[in-house]
Amino acid sequence: MSARPLGSVSIDLDNLWAYLKTHGDSEWRRHPSFLPSAVPRLLEIFGEHGLTTTVFVVGTDVVREDGAKAVNEIAAAGHEIANHSFGHEPWLHRYPRDRLEEELRLTDEAVVTAGAPHPLGFRGPGFSMSHDLVEVLCERGYTYDASTLPTWVGPLARAYHNRTAPRADNHGRDELFGGFARVLAPVHPYHWTTPGGSRLVELPVTTMPLLRTPIHGSYLLQLYGMSPKLARAYFRTALKLCLARGVAPSLLLHPTDVLGGTEAPGMEFFPGMATPGERKVAWLAWVLRTMREHFDIVGTGEYVRRTEIRRLRPSTRLAAGG
């Protein structure tokens, strides 16, 4: 019997303050945190399923006590720690090169101080990336990036987000979640190549093959809130299409996928927050079981290590802001 194809799962450990900041809520400045609730729950779920994954962490959290504790516990459980920037600003692609270098360096140092290995993977907040970012990642010894979401839904999600956000402090939100050009981005892993000849693997967050609609945790929960039957059918269809098209699914999760609204005050605007935490945990367990019926699940870094990436894409084709 042939081995099942590989798939990967990762978590963006976005904290409560980061969501509020992007949404334009001034309460973010107090840096409220739901990590003490979310991290043990996530570790328990993955432990029950015998899975190791990749957790992309935000440096601003890791330099704090609860964030450092989370990184230590996640790494001790065998999960990979990756870099999700220091300040979690989705307009990261606007940063000059020196600020990008600082974002990476500060988070790298915080992760190592917290007891985890130096990160080898990066994901930009809000799927933001740029030419300079690819080059800086190569220079700092990173082996892969996971910042692309090949979908046409981004501008629609941005419109919904901005409609529910405060009118003040709109800095950067006009470019959230990418543009319609993302629908043309590859769904398979590929390489970026820099002018100096360095190469960086790009591992896209998987979207529904052919339709290019999202299948990450938050989107699935939005469907689940409408109809659990619809959400199950949608996810099963996505996995079948992945198998048929030879796409290795890279499933993205967030702490909000296991938290109820009372555990994330101020996030009523976010999809799925009306669903109680215990129902979310049960739903995530079903998602992981269903994915494992067809794929061997590893973290994003392990997937890159095990897979030969043949597709090449020059960095000069990376559009500004996306």
Q: Is 218 within the bounds of a domain?
A: no
The string of pLDDT tens digits covering residues 33-55 is 999 999 999 999 999 999 999 99
Task: State yes or no: pLDDT of 100 exceeds 80.
Answer: yes
The pair of three-digit structure tokens given for residue 307, joined into one six-digit string: 């897979």
Mean pLDDT of 147-173: 59
Q: Is 276 within the bounds of a domain?
A: no
pLDDT value at position 182?
64
Task: State yes or no: pLDDT of 132 exceeds 80.
Answer: yes
DSSP string of 185-211, one letter each residue: S-SS-EEEE-TTS-EEEE-PPPB-TTT
Q: Is 118 within the bounds of a domain?
A: yes
> What's the DSSP call for residue 214?
B
Residues 263 and 246: their CA atoms lie apart, in Å, by 39
Residue whose pair of structure tokens reads 């000069």 in the numeric block: 316
Q: Is 146 within the bounds of a domain?
A: yes
Please tell me the pTM assigned to this model. Answer: 0.91
Mean pLDDT of 17-23: 92
The string of pLDDT tens digits covering residues 173-200 is 455 555 555 667 889 999 999 888 899 9
Q: Is 168 within the bounds of a domain?
A: yes
Task: State yes or no: pLDDT of 271 exceeds 90.
Answer: no
The string of pLDDT tens digits covering residues 212-267 is 999 999 999 999 999 999 999 999 999 999 999 999 999 999 999 999 999 999 99
pLDDT value at position 322?
38
Q: Is 248 within the bounds of a domain?
A: no
Q: Is 192 within the bounds of a domain?
A: yes
Task: State yes or no: pLDDT of 23 exceeds 50.
Answer: yes
The structural domain count of the chain equals 1
Mean pLDDT of 84-88: 97
Q: Which domain holds residue 190?
A: 6-207+293-317
Task: State yes or no: pLDDT of 111 exceeds 70.
Answer: yes
Q: Would strands 199-202 and 190-193 be described as parallel, antiparallel, or unpaired?
A: antiparallel
CA angle 291, 293, 295 (to 5 degrees): 60
> What's the DSSP call for residue 165?
S
For residue 24, the domain's CATH number is: 3.20.20.370
The pair of three-digit structure tokens given for residue 73, joined into one six-digit string: 């516990």
The residue among 126, 163, 170 whose CA lies nearest residue 322 is 126
Distance in Å from the first CA to the final CA of the chain: 41
Q: Is 220 within the bounds of a domain?
A: no
DSSP string of 51-118, one letter each residue: ---EEEE-HHHHTSHHHHHHHHHHHHTTPEEEE--SS--TTGGGS-HHHHHHHHHHHHHHHHHTT-PP
Mean pLDDT of the chain, nearest integer: 89
Among the ranges given (54-58, 160-164, 217-221, 290-294), the one the predictor scored with the smallest mean pLDDT: 160-164
